[in-house]
Structure formats: C-alpha cells, structure tokens
C-alpha cells in the first residue's frame, strides 16, 4: 500500500480530522441514446420523465425534513432552490417537447435540455452564476438516476469516524450528512464559495474541495487526514505524519478553546485604545454565533440573502420580524443593517433586470434601490420599525457621490414621516452610514462625511475597483493586495476625513478580519472592525497585545515605502512575535 499520498485542493471549511475513507459514487449513470419509433414509446418516455421528476421532488422533500431537524437553514434554502428548478415549466415543457418532436428517449432529452440551460448560464461570466450550473448538474444527475432506477440516498449509514470521499457532493447530500458519524468530506470538484462549502462551514465540519482526482486515488477504508484549514489531504499517512497531524489537531482544538477566554474581555489595546470588534452576518440564524464569540455588535448585516432564491419579494412584516429579532437579541449592542446590495454577482429572481456587460459596475446596490424605490422603501420601513426594539443603524452600499446620499436621505425622511403619521414607533435619531467601497467616494470622503453619522469601508469592493482587479477572477487574484500603497493611502484619507468631521469609521471587508493588517488599521485610527464571527476572538487576542502608540509610529513610517512587499516585511519586523506566523 502506497503511504503518505499528499493531495492538495481548496480548504472549504477549517479544522483537522483523521478518519476512514468512505467512497460515495455519485457518477452519472450510463445511458445509450435510443430513438423512439412509435407514439406509444413517446408517451411512455414522457410518463417515465414525469415519474422521475416526482421521485426527485419526494427525495428532496425528505432531505429537507432531515435538514430542518438538524437546524441547518442554509441547507433548507438550497434544497428549496433545487425544488424550484424541478418545478420549472420551461424545463418540464422543453424535455417533453424534445421527446415528442425529436423522438428520443427521456434521458437523452434531459441531457440535451440541461446542456442548453448550462450553456446559457455559462455565457454569463461570473462566479455566482457559474455556481448555478452546478445546481443544474445536481438536478440533472438526480433525474437521470431516478430514470435509471439506480437512486441511492447518499451515505445514510456511514461507519464511525467516516470521511466521505466523492467526485462531487450536492448541497442537499451535504446537508443530510450525519455529523455524529461523518467527520468531514473531500471532493474532486467544487469551490470555496460553492453552496456545498457554505453548508460544510455551517455544519462546522472540515472539508477540502477541488482535489481533481481524490475519488480515484483514495480507496474505501484508507486512513485519511483532512486539513481543511490549508486544503491538504494525506492518504495512508506514515507514523511520523500521523503524529504530526495529531499534534496539529490537538493544537488547533486547544487554540480554539483558549480563545474563548477572550470572549468577555474588552476590545482594547494594551494602552487602552478601543476598537469595537463586530460581526458580519448573512442570515439571522447566525445570531447565536455572534453571541458565542462575544461580538461587540453587528457591523454588517448583508440583507440581500433575504431576497435571493425566492419566488416572491419578502414582505415588510417578514423583514421587520428578522431585523427586530436581531435588534432585541443584541440590545444594547448595535445592529448595522445594510440595505440590499443586489445586482453585480447577486441576482433576484422576482425582478427582471436587463443583462449587463459589466455587472460589477452596473445597476448594483444603492443604484438599484434608487431605481426600484418601492422595494427600497419597504426595506427602510422594516428597518426603522425594528429600530424601536434595540440599537439599529442603517448603511447604504456602493455610494459613489453626494447626490446619491441626498436622494437616500429624502426617501428616508419620507418613510419616517409616513411611520409617524401611522403612529408606528421607530428611533427618530437612527444613525445612518455610507459604505465607502468605490474610489470616488473614498476620494471625496470629506464631502460625504458631512452627510452621514458613520462610514464603513468595504475593502472587498474598494480594492477591486481601485486596483482594477475583478474580485472573483482567479487569474488576477495575485494582484489583489490590501497592502498596495494606493490602498493604504486611500484608507488614510478616508479615516482622516471622517475624523476631521467627527464621525467614526468602521471596516467590514475581509481585510478587517486578517490579523496581519491589525497594527496598520489600529495605527490609522480605525474605530470598528467587522468580520466573520469565527475570526473575532483571534483578532481580539492580538488587539489586546498591541500598543496603539507603537502602531501609530509604524503607520507613520510605512508611507515612506513604495511596494506592498516592503510594507509587509517592515510591519512583520516591527510586530515580531505578536502576529501569527
């Protein structure tokens, strides 16, 4: 037996596990194409097709029940998306039409129609849409398996300490994994932002995806180490490697535990400079995580997930219920609700929006809201009503000029007047903020600062637009550099402009949760950092070991360097021993 085979892929969910491989064959069943000769054959194939659809729906409904029992809301919403595809009239009609018109068997027709769907989506070159093609693949395979009568529900009874190895796992399969016995999984396909990876993180099980041929190189019963933090998989480790990973696993678990003691400690530097450490959330179910990691509040509630993959728009009461729950659960800590950032790579099925050549620079975020005013007003009413139940703030994404802020404030004033007339309670002094995530608003930060109560810097977009690097294109990802002197200069300008106007500045892009950048952000005088909840305690630990005055000196000097590399090594030298290696 070959020992110590190292496979590398993408770490989709962090942590180290050591277990026994269990292969799951989710391959596409073999079909030969059959031409039909009689009308009776045609009708029979159409009937087989509809039966396969009904069976597929029943299986997904069962998976949904399972997922609901386990309280994995992301899983439910993904299964709902798949159920919607199965009810799609265009899909159903196209397949039956092809069987009838072209006189071909059901599996053949399904393959052709699905290929067409995928081709249409494939022409839209963005990551989110690309992931929708994998949803279509999962559905196609399910229908085909049901047509072939070979359907098997995935890994219903895995052995203890199983590590699932598969060419691919659908989100529904993943959400139904029994986490009492399944430690984690590895797959040949997938990406970090795929739905399958999202579910792995929600279930808190380590996973590595995009391994290419893991399912061919691993056999049932092999011992497997999965390092979900670094995207590595080791098959049949030798004694030395096993020992190394056992130690690493123990260290990781100990590190996680040790961080919990920072939960209730204040977010202060050693010399008493306060930086509020806040959480970014996408769905209301994450509130428990926010509290578990002791966040000082919510710095970014991305509300677009309440609109995606739904047949109808959420009602005002539905939105109000969600925002109120967050406000009440966290009170008196702040909950910063960002109005919908729809468009770009996130689309809504309820509204027809024209296809755009360049969606990242198109009708996105506040631009969309200022065009679809009824949708915007409904959301503002819900947020304002929730503000009577805690400390709610509102912020607006993608603001690029002062006029947009004026328009937003006009609409907000109108909505407030309406609520007052209706005697609905709300906080009349609710704070409003602008996200600074477009170079134009960064450049005129002094002018925008006069219009708002706070700023929140969205570095994910700001860096993409400032450095002209598509944030979802892996070809140029090597150029995505938060330490680029242009980025740091713009950050300094934004923070100084806000402070000159007497308003605080938060940062809610991914840069905020990276320990390496903390001394710089602290030295620049950032007031709040908002990040994924699991990053909070490590950042707090480092913050509590840093000296604000020293960070100010570091920042003062770093503006003399001309490259990101020089800045990185200078900061590492100056903070030696304080930051993780």
Positions that interact with Mg ion (CB under 5 A): 437, 458, 461
Nearest of 549, 441, 413, 556 to residue 498 by alpha carbon = 441
From residue 79, alpha-carbon distances to 50, 64, 144, 151, 361 in Å are: 19, 7, 18, 17, 31
Residue nearer to ligand PEP on the CB measure, 206 or 509: 509
How far apart CA 442 and CA 505 sit, in angstroms, is: 12
Residue nearer to ligand PEP on the CB measure, 14 or 458: 458
Query: Contact between 532 and ligand PEP (CB under 6 A)?
Result: no
Residue 165, helix vs strand vs coil: strand
Asked whether the beta carbons of 24 and 155 are under 8 A apart, the reply is yes
Residue nearer to ligand PEP on the CB measure, 278 or 319: 278
- Binding string, residues 322-341; x marks residues near ligand PEP by CB under 6 A: -------------------x
H/E segment holding residue 73:
helix 73-86
Q: Which does 509 bind (CB under 5 to 8 A by kind): Mg ion, ligand PEP, none?
A: ligand PEP
Name which position in 66, 188, 296, 461 contacts ligand PEP (CB under 6 A). 461
| Binding positions for ligand PEP, 338-357, rule CB under 6 A | 341
Residue 531, helix vs strand vs coil: strand
190: left (phi over 0), alpha (psi -120 to 50) or beta: left
Asked whether the beta carbons of 355 and 124 are under 8 A apart, the reply is yes
| Binding positions for ligand PEP, 292-311, rule CB under 6 A | 300, 302
Closest separation between CB of residue 488 and ligand PEP, Å? 16
Query: Contact between 509 and ligand PEP (CB under 6 A)?
Result: yes
Residue located via tokens 């006009």:
410
Q: In this structure, are strands 232-235 and 5-8 parallel, antiparallel, or unpaired?
A: antiparallel
Q: Which two tokens stand for residue 440?
A: 């134009």
Query: Contact between 460 and ligand PEP (CB under 6 A)?
Result: yes
Q: Which does 15 bind (CB under 5 to 8 A by kind): ligand PEP, Mg ion, none?
A: none
**Cβ–Cβ contacts within 10 Å for residue 30, how many?**
9
Count of residues that interact with ligand PEP, criterion CB under 6 A: 10
Residue nearer to ligand PEP on the CB measure, 151 or 460: 460
Closest separation between CB of residue 493 and ligand PEP, Å? 17
Residue nearer to ligand PEP on the CB measure, 359 or 458: 458
The question of whether 551 is a catalytic residue gets the answer no
Residue nearer to ligand PEP on the CB measure, 83 or 360: 360
Q: Which does 538 bind (CB under 5 to 8 A by kind): Mg ion, ligand PEP, none?
A: none
How far apart CA 1 and CA 23 sit, in angstroms, is: 18
Query: Contact between 508 and ligand PEP (CB under 6 A)?
Result: yes
- Catalytic residue from among 82, 195, 484, 551: 195
Alpha-carbon 535 to chain mean position:
14
Closest separation between CB of residue 460 and ligand PEP, Å? 3
Q: Which two tokens stand for residue 205?
A: 């099980």
- Binding string, residues 432-451; x marks residues near ligand PEP by CB under 6 A: -----x--------------
Closest separation between CB of residue 328 and Mg ion, Å? 27
Residue nearer to Mg ion on the CB measure, 9 or 343: 343
Residue nearer to ligand PEP on the CB measure, 74 or 341: 341
Residue nearer to Mg ion on the CB measure, 397 or 504: 397
Q: Which does 527 bind (CB under 5 to 8 A by kind): ligand PEP, Mg ion, none?
A: none
Instruction: Kindly indicate which of the ranges 253-261, 374-382, 453-461, 517-525 contains the residues binding ligand PEP, using the contact rule CB under 6 A.
Output: 453-461
Q: In this structure, are strands 207-209 and 223-227 parallel, antiparallel, or unpaired?
A: unpaired
Closest separation between CB of residue 301 and ligand PEP, Å? 11
| Binding positions for ligand PEP, 23-62, rule CB under 6 A | none
Closest separation between CB of residue 459 and ligand PEP, Å? 5
Q: What are the backbone angles phi and psi of residue 549, rounded to the nearest 5°? A: -65, -35
Nearest of 169, 176, 184 to residue 231 by alpha carbon = 184
- Binding string, residues 244-283; x marks residues near ligand PEP by CB under 6 A: ----------------------------------------
Q: Which residues pair with 435 in a beta bridge?
A: 456
Closest separation between CB of residue 341 and ligand PEP, Å? 5
Q: Which two tokens stand for residue 31?
A: 């079909």
Long-range contacts of 105-109 (CB under 8 A, 24+ apart): 105/31, 105/33, 105/34, 105/35, 105/36, 105/45, 106/45, 106/46, 106/48, 106/49, 106/52, 106/147, 107/31, 107/144, 107/147, 107/148, 108/31, 108/33, 108/34, 109/45, 109/49
Scored b (16 or more CB within 10 A) or e, 124-141 reads bebbebbbbbbbbbbbbb
Closest separation between CB of residue 247 and Mg ion, Å? 39
Q: Which does 539 bind (CB under 5 to 8 A by kind): ligand PEP, Mg ion, none?
A: none
Nearest of 417, 406, 395 to residue 370 by alpha carbon = 406
Residue 231, helix vs strand vs coil: coil
- Catalytic residue from among 189, 369, 508, 551: 508
Query: Contact between 427 and ligand PEP (CB under 6 A)?
Result: no
Q: Which does 528 bind (CB under 5 to 8 A by kind): ligand PEP, Mg ion, none?
A: none
Residue nearest to Mg ion (CB): 461
My answer on whether omega of the bond before 332 falls inside 30° of 0, hence cis, is yes
Instruction: Kindly indicate which of the ranges 313-321, 324-332, 457-465, 480-488 contains the residues binding ligand PEP, using the contact rule CB under 6 A.
Output: 457-465
Q: Which does 459 bind (CB under 5 to 8 A by kind): ligand PEP, Mg ion, none?
A: ligand PEP
Residue nearer to ligand PEP on the CB measure, 45 or 434: 434
Closest separation between CB of residue 508 and ligand PEP, Å? 4
The question of whether 195 is a catalytic residue gets the answer yes
Asked whether the beta carbons of 432 and 393 are under 8 A apart, the reply is yes
Closest separation between CB of residue 441 and ligand PEP, Å? 12
H/E segment holding residue 196:
helix 195-203
Which parts of this chain interact with ligand PEP (CB under 6 A)? 300, 302, 341, 437, 458-461, 508-509
Question: Catalytic site residues?
Answer: 195, 508
């Amino acid at each position: 037996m070959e020992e110590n085979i190292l496979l590398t892929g993408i770490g989709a969910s962090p942590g180290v596990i050591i277990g026994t491989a269990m292969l799951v064959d989710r391959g596409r069943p073999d079909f030969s194409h059959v031409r039909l000769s009689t009308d009776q054959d045609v009708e029979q194939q159409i009937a087989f097709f509809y039966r396969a659809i009904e069976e597929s729906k029943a299986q997904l409904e069962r998976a949904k029940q399972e997922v609901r029992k386990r309280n994995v809301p992301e899983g439910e919403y993904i299964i709902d998306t798949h159920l919607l595809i199965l009810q799609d009239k265009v899909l159903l009609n196209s397949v039956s039409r092809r069987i009838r018109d072209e006189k071909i068997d059901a599996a053949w027709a399904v393959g052709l129609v699905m290929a067409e769907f995928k081709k249409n989506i494939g022409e839209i070159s963005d990551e989110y849409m690309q992931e929708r093609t994998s949803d279509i693949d999962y559905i196609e395979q399910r229908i085909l398996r049901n047509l072939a009568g070979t359907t098997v529900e995935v890994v219903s009874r895995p052995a203890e300490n199983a590590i699932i190895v598969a060419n691919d796992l659908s989100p529904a399969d993943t959400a139904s994994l029994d986490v009492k016995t399944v430690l984690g999984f590895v797959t040949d396909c997938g990406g970090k932002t795929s739905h399958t990876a999202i579910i792995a993180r929600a279930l808190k099980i380590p996973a590595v995806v995009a391994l290419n041929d893991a399912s061919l190189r691993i056999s049932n019963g092999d011992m497997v180490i999965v390092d979900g933090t670094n995207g590595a998989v080791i098959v049949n480790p030798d004694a030395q490697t096993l020992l190394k990973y056992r130690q690493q696993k123990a260290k990781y678990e100990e590190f996680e535990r040790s961080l919990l003691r920072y939960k209730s400690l204040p977010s202060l530097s050693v010399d008493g400079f306060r930086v509020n450490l806040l959480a970014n959330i996408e769905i209301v179910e994450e509130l428990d995580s926010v509290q578990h990691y002791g966040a000082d509040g919510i710095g970014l509630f991305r509300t677009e997930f309440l609109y995606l993959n739904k047949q109808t728009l959420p009602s005002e009461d539905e939105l109000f219920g969600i925002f109120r729950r967050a406000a009440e659960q966290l009170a008196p800590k702040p909950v910063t609700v960002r109005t919908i950032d729809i468009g770009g790579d996130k689309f809504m099925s309820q509204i027809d929006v024209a296809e755009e050549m360049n969606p990242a620079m198109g009708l996105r975020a506040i631009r969309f809201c200022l065009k679809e005013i009824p949708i915007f007003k409904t959301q503002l009413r819900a947020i304002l009503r929730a503000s009577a139940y805690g400390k709610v703030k509102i912020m607006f994404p993608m603001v690029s000029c002062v006029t947009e802020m004026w328009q937003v404030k006009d609409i907000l004033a109108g909505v407030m007047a309406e609520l007052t007339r209706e005697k609905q309670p709300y906080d009349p002094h609710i704070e409003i903020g602008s996200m600074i995530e477009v170079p134009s608003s960064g450049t005129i930060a002094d002018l925008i600062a006069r219009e708002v109560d706070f700023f929140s810097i969205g570095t994910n977009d700001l860096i993409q637009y400032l450095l002209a690097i598509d944030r979802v294109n892996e070809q140029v990802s090597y150029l995505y550099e938060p330490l680029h002197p242009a980025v740091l200069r713009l950050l300094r300008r934004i923070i100084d402009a806000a402070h000159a106007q007497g308003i605080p500045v938060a940062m809610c892009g991914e840069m905020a949760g990276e320990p390496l950048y903390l001394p710089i952000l602290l030295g620049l005088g950032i007031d709040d950092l908002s990040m994924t909840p699991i990053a909070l305690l490590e950042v707090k630990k480092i913050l509590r070991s840093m000296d604000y005055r020293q960070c100010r000196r570091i920042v003062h000097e770093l503006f003399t360097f001309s490259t990101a590399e020089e800045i990185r090594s200078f900061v590492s030298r100056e903070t030696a021993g304080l930051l993780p290696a």
